Amino acid sequence: MELNWGVHDAFTLQNYGENILGARIAIPRILQLFLKYDIHATWAIVGMLYCKSKEELLSKLEDLEVPYENEAFSPKSNLWQVGENEIQDPYHYGHSLIDTIKSLPNQEIGTHTFSHYYCLEAGQRTEHFETDLQAIVQLNEEITSLVFPRNQTNNDYLYVCKKYGINAYRGNEKTWIYSPYTSKTNTRTKRMLRLLDAYVNLTGHHTFPLKSIQKEPIINIKSSRFLRPYSKQLAVLEKLRLRRIKNGLTKAAKNNELYHLWWHPHNFGKNIEENLQFLEEILKHVDYLKANYNFQSMHMRDVIDVLKIIS
């Protein structure tokens, strides 16, 4: 969960603002579905969303100077359009949403870094990432799970995560089109292949058994699939997209493996009904697998706990 902090360098509020406001509507509805189907989920939240006023945000960002070569990556480049608080500016504050998430059972609060930090972009170094994580520690949430912004896993930074009590992250699928990329190495070919892979089985299902999980320096709970948003242009292919995910889940359930599905709330922010309906179809299938194959829903911390028990 990031609201506009996840996309301020890529889109304007004119062309993506609807998705951000829609995310605020989608979040409680997603939570309702999670409750109905007993889903344990990890919410990787951008730390800046905790701030209650611009004053608080500015004071937190004061210590956090990240010298990206491309200044647009810095949240400071976006401050001109940040309002005073959540009521005035629903795009950049989210503490009421965080409270809603925390009020429901089996929802883990994780982190997506404090400043939506880009771990592989040029200019930033380890010490800047460390300062970012210190701001996360100050939130007093006992956070143990992290999702790297833009999936930019930096292996050196895993040791910094460990130092601050973060013992799990979501790694990337093990195939070249999903391996960590920067703004410069995310080629059109990779983007096209990832899109195609959402509909037809190009790269497999990326399910994996617990015993295969890499534990050092911290636990890598790899992604199996990004849940793409509904697309009007590709609506005729929706059945394929759903089948692709269901097949992956079935494979995981039958083989006692994990399937790690993820998305951003703002992906549901447009075509909210279609996206929620699609999610419910997935969750109905999970229900079927729970009943027939002893399949279980786990958030990232549940996986850590299970690994502790079996090791």
End-to-end CA distance of the chain: 32
Total residues contacting Zn ion by CB under 5 A comes to 3
Residue window 76-115: x/- pattern of binding to Zn ion, with contact defined by CB under 5 A? ----------------------------------------
Q: How far is the CB of 125 from Zn ion (least distance, A)?
A: 20
Q: Kindly indicate which of the ranges 60-68, 120-128, 134-142, 148-156 contains the residues binding Zn ion, using the contact rule CB under 5 A.
A: 148-156
Looking at beta carbons only, is 2 or 108 nearer to Zn ion? 2
Closest residue to Zn ion in the complex (CB): 6
Contact status: 6 vs Zn ion (CB under 5 A): yes
Q: How far is the CB of 146 from Zn ion (least distance, A)?
A: 12
Q: How far is the CB of 22 from Zn ion (least distance, A)?
A: 17
Looking at beta carbons only, is 248 or 265 nearer to Zn ion? 265
Q: Kindly indicate which of the ranges 57-65, 90-98, 149-157, 209-217 contains the residues binding Zn ion, using the contact rule CB under 5 A.
A: 149-157
φ, ψ of residue 219 in degrees (nearest 5)? -75, 130
Contact status: 149 vs Zn ion (CB under 5 A): yes
Q: How far is the CB of 150 from Zn ion (least distance, A)?
A: 6
Contact status: 47 vs Zn ion (CB under 5 A): no
Looking at beta carbons only, is 2 or 9 nearer to Zn ion? 2
Q: How far is the CB of 149 from Zn ion (least distance, A)?
A: 4
Q: How far is the CB of 84 from Zn ion (least distance, A)?
A: 24
| Residues binding Zn ion (CB under 5 A) | 2, 6, 149
